[in-house]
Amino acid sequence: MRAFLASAIGVACTAALVLPTAAIAAHAPAVPASTAPPGSTQSLPLVPLVPDAPGGDRAAGTAPQGLTERDAKPFSLLGVIWDDPEAELHGTVQVRTRSTGTGAWSGWQFLETHHHEHAADAGTAERETGKVRGSTAPLWVGASDGVEVRVRPEGDAAVRGAAPAPLPSGLRLELVDPGDDPPPGATTTAADAAEDNADDAAAQTGAADDADDPRTTVLTAEDAAASAVNADLVPLGATEVPALSKAETEAQTFVLGGKPRIGPRPRIVTRKGWGANEQLRERNFVYTKRVKVAFVHHSATGNNYSCSQADSVLRSIYRYHVKSSGWRDLGYNFAIDKCGNIYEGRAGGVAKAVMGAHTLGFNSNSTGIAVLGTYSKSKPRAAVVKSVARLTAWKLGLYGANPSAKTTLKSGGGNRYKKGTIAKLNVIAGHRDGVSTNCPGGHLYRKLAEVRAASARLQGR
């Protein structure tokens, strides 16, 4: 049975909760434009590279493309985009970067090229804006000021010795500055590991460490709009939604016809808490009817970040999704860092059924949770598994969903289920269950059975 917040507002009425920016602007202090959260994107067109070996003329679009070693304005995350969002990049993308802290160049790193499975559904307003572009997954490289990139088509002589396939047109390298100064370099040191352990402990106790963060003192009209949709849970401008015990959560929630099956609400860092620049996103919020499935993802941005840098990683992905990929907002509804800290993702309210852009064809009636990092070869920490279970036990409980059950969703069209197909899915599913993709990486995917069991226990099932 569907659950509701015990305040006067139920989650089923989410569309009615949207307060337009104009309606709340008077309640937000006037802030000069110069104090808006900083951040920037450098967009550099790729050019044909000299072929690795002589072989005559190449067919149009089949020559390797890239950029030779060059200086750049500071950035911390990068990705490659192209004009047509329906086109796939069949080939390899490699980058190397220069650290601003040490001046040393990294080795070559691969970008995940098959990223189109993370997107708004076909036919939706977000997809049809004309702004959406094809893109690789972004890669976190840490504070850098130099870059080199090479894109080779599948079948290129240097790769497989076969006739190369054309690359998408309009290839560009996007270099993203998250808007602050993360520690130089991308290597996790012993000090970083100790810091991560401290952050891990803070995540479990709900301790906050942002009391002196200057971002918490600024509240623009856009900030107020993104915060007001959490008014059931926290005051306007709050930097976190605090954790509640199971008893407190149940007291805040009721179910038509019985006791709620819901897990204790976890601590969630709000968009204000991680420093989202609310001027980047589309102004309004978009909702779906309910939440039947939680899709688990990995961000494929790599694991070379400390937990103190997670805010910067999230701001970078947000900017890449909006300014580079052309989406209305961050694609994921929630994010979890490798220490288990949980973050509000796409704006619209953490308790509400916000329409995301995370699982192509299945963004309706679902929520998307991205674990920051790459888990194809690396195992997620126990804190990550615990936080995914805690978040799903609460979020799914608001909508009466059993984490250990199966349900059905109608596909909006994708590379695994045709449009209109009724797919039977686990209520807690991996991205690959809805779309043909490696996401959320084999190691994280194999933890989902454990997540389902733990989430169900937290709901009291």
How far apart are alpha carbons 24 and 21 in whole angstroms?
Answer: 6
How far apart are alpha carbons 450 and 327 in whole angstroms?
Answer: 33
Rg (CA), the chain: 22
The pLDDT confidence band at residue 124, using thresholds 50, 70 and 90, is confident
pLDDT the model gives residue 19: 38
Contacts of 310 (CB under 8 A, 6+ apart): 274, 337, 339, 341, 343, 372
The pLDDT confidence band at residue 127, using thresholds 50, 70 and 90, is confident
pLDDT the model gives residue 120: 82
How far apart are alpha carbons 444 and 295 in whole angstroms?
Answer: 12
Task: Read off the amino acid at residue 458.
Answer: L
Kindly report the length of the chain.
461
Predicted confidence (pLDDT) per residue in 270-288, tens digit: 999 999 999 999 999 999 9
pLDDT the model gives residue 306: 95
How far apart are alpha carbons 452 and 450 in whole angstroms?
Answer: 6
SS3 string of the chain?
Answer: CCEEECCCCCHHHHHHHCCCHHHHHHHCCCCCHHHCCCCEEEEEECEECCCCCCCCCCCCCCCCEEEEEEEEEEEEEEEEEECCCCCCCCEEEEEEEEECCCCCECCCEECCCCCCCCCCCCCCCCCCCCCCCEECCCEEEEEEEEEEEEEEECCCCCCCCCCCCCCCCCCEEEEEECCCCCCECCCCCHHHHHHHHHHHHHHHHCCCCCCCCHHHHCCCHHHHHHHHCCCCCCCCCCCEECCCCHHHHHHHEEECCECCCCCCCCCEECHHHHCCCCCCCCCCCCECCCCCEEEEEECCCCCCCCHHHHHHHHHHHHHHHHHHCCCCCCCCCEEECCCCCEEECCCCCCCCCECCCCCCCCCCCEEEEEECCCCCCCCCCHHHHHHHHHHHHHHHHCCCCCCCCEEEEECCCCCCCCCCCEEEEECEEEHHHHCCCCCCCHHHHCCHHHHHHHHHHHCCC
The pLDDT confidence band at residue 174, using thresholds 50, 70 and 90, is very high
Cβ pair 176, 80 in contact under 8 A: no
pLDDT the model gives residue 161: 54
Q: State whether the Cα torsion 72-74-78-81 is positive or negative.
A: negative
Lowest mean pLDDT among 28-32, 197-201, 388-392, 398-402: 28-32
Is pLDDT of 446 > 70? Answer: yes
More confident residue, 218 or 245: 245
Predicted confidence (pLDDT) per residue in 195-207, tens digit: 455 544 444 444 4
Q: What is the residue-averaged pLDDT of the chain?
A: 84
Round to the nearest angstrom and report the end-to-end CA distance of the chain.
14
Q: Average pLDDT, stretch 102-113?
A: 96
User: How many CB atoms neighbour CB 330 within 10 A?
Assistant: 30
How far apart are alpha carbons 363 and 367 in whole angstroms?
Answer: 7
Predicted confidence (pLDDT) per residue in 25-42, tens digit: 444 444 433 344 679 999
